[in-house]
């Protein structure tokens, strides 16, 4: 059953590409763990000088998994640098998507404690199918099932493609210390080079990967010395696809070195993603679980998803105090 499920999903993905269905980038519910995938201007938006992060997501009954790793550094010269890698694959190896980007953020534009950060990123993306592991409709034999030895009329012009990609963004945040409310907001655009995808049937215009636009905003409310509440909203659009998300989390200062975090994000008309995590001496561990409003789709496939994240932040000097950057603990 698992193998059939993997084959069905990979086939659906391939057919969607061949028929020119608009593509959507892989993304995470815990997008704050991989902020450079949301906005390049968030590069180095951390309470520290360096950070490394990793996140893993399993969906469709673990038939597809997505992994992301990243590293960021604050140079102290109004410039933050970072790199992130993303890899998505089917469990049978029939489909793989990966990208790698370098990001820069300029933090030198400020008015008192109000910052306007501009960022950009560039890199490579790769999409690959293994046709030998796919099964097609004309390989079905009544009473037997799929016979992979049966020749198929389906043709893939290319099984793998690399292309250059780029993105840019801008972020505003209020870093005023001891303020009850600190606002932050940003907008970004990805695939500005319009990389081509030869798996899409049709003209060169149809093969162009749609630009992904994102608008995000939120605020940090300091309730007292123990509790902070951070509501946030996110809107993304890529081609004809859009995603609207709203949520909040509570940060509990359990001790001088320990924070606890609880919250949830709602993806409208799609899923609810509760989140829980903790922070200890620079180490942040989080887990979220996407519960779809309709847990089974038309193929009776479970659409719920599990995410686990891990990040570590540190300073050049251990004696330095936390910087006054008020945003979700990225």
Dump pLDDT digits (tens) for 75-97. 989 999 999 999 988 766 677 88
**Mean pLDDT to the nearest integer, 21-30:** 68
For the stretch 148-207, pLDDT in tens is 666 665 655 567 788 899 999 999 999 888 889 999 999 999 999 988 766 555 555 556
**Mean pLDDT to the nearest integer, 280-291:** 92
Q: Cα separation of 94 and 322, whole Å? A: 46
Q: Is residue 244's pLDDT more than 90? A: yes
Query: Which region among 28-37, 60-69, 229-238 has the lowest average model confidence (pLDDT)?
Result: 60-69
**Mean pLDDT to the nearest integer, 63-76:** 90
| Cβ-contact 196, 204 below 8 angstroms | yes
Higher pLDDT, 155 or 116: 116
pLDDT for 16:
38
Q: Is residue 228's pLDDT more than 80? A: yes
pLDDT for 199:
59
pLDDT for 5:
39
pLDDT for 93:
66
Q: Let me know if 300 is exposed, middle or buried by CB neighbors in 10 A (0-12, 13-18, 19+).
A: exposed
- Give phi and psi for 237, each to the nearest 5: -140, 135
pLDDT for 256:
83
Rg (CA), the chain: 21
Question: pLDDT band for position 299 (50/70/90)?
Answer: very low
Q: Cα separation of 297 and 289, whole Å? A: 17
Question: pLDDT band for position 225 (50/70/90)?
Answer: confident
| Cβ-contact 27, 303 below 8 angstroms | no
Q: Cα separation of 29 and 277, whole Å? A: 14
Question: pLDDT band for position 2 (50/70/90)?
Answer: very low
Question: pLDDT band for position 10 (50/70/90)?
Answer: very low
Q: Classify the phi-psi angles of 91: left when phi > 0, otherwise alpha if psi is within -120 to 50, otherwise beta.
A: alpha
Retrieve residue 279's tokens: 């922070």
Retrieve residue 240's tokens: 């004809």
**Mean pLDDT to the nearest integer, 47-65:** 85
User: What is the overall mean pLDDT for the chain?
Assistant: 80
Question: pLDDT band for position 39 (50/70/90)?
Answer: very high
**Mean pLDDT to the nearest integer, 44-62:** 87
**Mean pLDDT to the nearest integer, 256-275:** 90
Query: Which region among 48-62, 193-207, 226-240 has the lowest average model confidence (pLDDT)?
Result: 193-207
Distances (CA, A) of 203 to 14, 101, 197: 18, 28, 11
For tokens 């390049």, name the residue. Answer: 40
Higher pLDDT, 187 or 147: 187
Q: Is residue 8's pLDDT more than 50? A: no
Question: In CATH, which of 3.40.50.620, 3.10.450.750, 3.40.1260.10, 2.40.160.40 is domain 2-314?
Answer: 2.40.160.40
Q: Helices (DSSP H) in the chain: which residue ranges? A: 2-18, 204-207
Predicted TM-score of the model (pTM): 0.81
For tokens 């490579």, name the residue. Answer: 124
Q: Is residue 137's pLDDT more than 80? A: no
What b/e readout covers 286-296, taking b as 16+ CB neighbours within 10 angstroms?
bebbbebeeee
Q: Is 6 helix (H, G, I), strand (E, B) or coil?
A: helix
Which run of H or E residues covers position 310?
A: strand 305-314
Query: Which region among 125-134, 196-205, 261-270 has the lowest average model confidence (pLDDT)?
Result: 196-205
């Amino acid at each position: 059953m698992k193998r059939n499920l993997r084959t069905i999903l990979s086939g659906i993905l391939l057919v969607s590409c061949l028929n020119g269905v608009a593509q959507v980038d892989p993304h995470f519910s815990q997008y704050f763990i991989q902020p450079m995938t949301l906005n390049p201007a968030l590069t180095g938006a951390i309470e520290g000088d360096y950070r490394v992060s990793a996140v893993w997501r399993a969906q469709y009954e673990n038939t597809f998994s997505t992994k992301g790793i990243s590293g960021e550094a604050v140079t102290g010269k109004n410039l933050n640098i970072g790199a992130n890698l993303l890899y998505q694959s089917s469990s049978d190896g029939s489909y793989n998507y990966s990208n790698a980007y370098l990001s820069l953020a300029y933090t030198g534009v400020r008015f008192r404690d109000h910052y306007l950060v501009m960022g950009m990123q560039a890199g490579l993306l790769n999409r690959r199918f293994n046709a030998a592991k796919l099964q097609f409709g004309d390989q079905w034999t009544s009473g037997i099932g799929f016979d992979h030895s049966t020749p198929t009329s389906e043709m893939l012009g290319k099984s793998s493609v690399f292309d250059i990609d780029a993105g840019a963004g801008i972020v505003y945040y209020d870093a005023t210390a001891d303020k009850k409310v600190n606002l932050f907001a940003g907008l970004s655009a990805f695939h500005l080079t319009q990389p081509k995808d030869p798996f899409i049937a049709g003209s060169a215009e149809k093969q162009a990967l749609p630009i992904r636009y994102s608008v995000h905003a939120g605020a940090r409310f300091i309730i007292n010395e123990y509790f902070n509440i951070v509501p946030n909203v996110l809107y993304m659009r890529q081609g004809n696809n859009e995603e609207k998300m709203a949520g909040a989390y509570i940060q509990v200062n359990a001790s001088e070195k320990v924070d606890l975090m609880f919250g949830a994000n709602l993806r409208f008309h799609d899923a609810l993603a509760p989140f829980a995590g903790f922070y200890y001496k620079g180490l942040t561990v989080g887990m979220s679980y996407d519960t779809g409003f309709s847990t089974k789709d038309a193929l009776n496939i479970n659409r719920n998803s599990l995410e686990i994240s891990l990040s570590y932040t540190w300073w050049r000097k251990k004696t330095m105090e936390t910087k006054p950057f008020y945003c979700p603990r990225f």
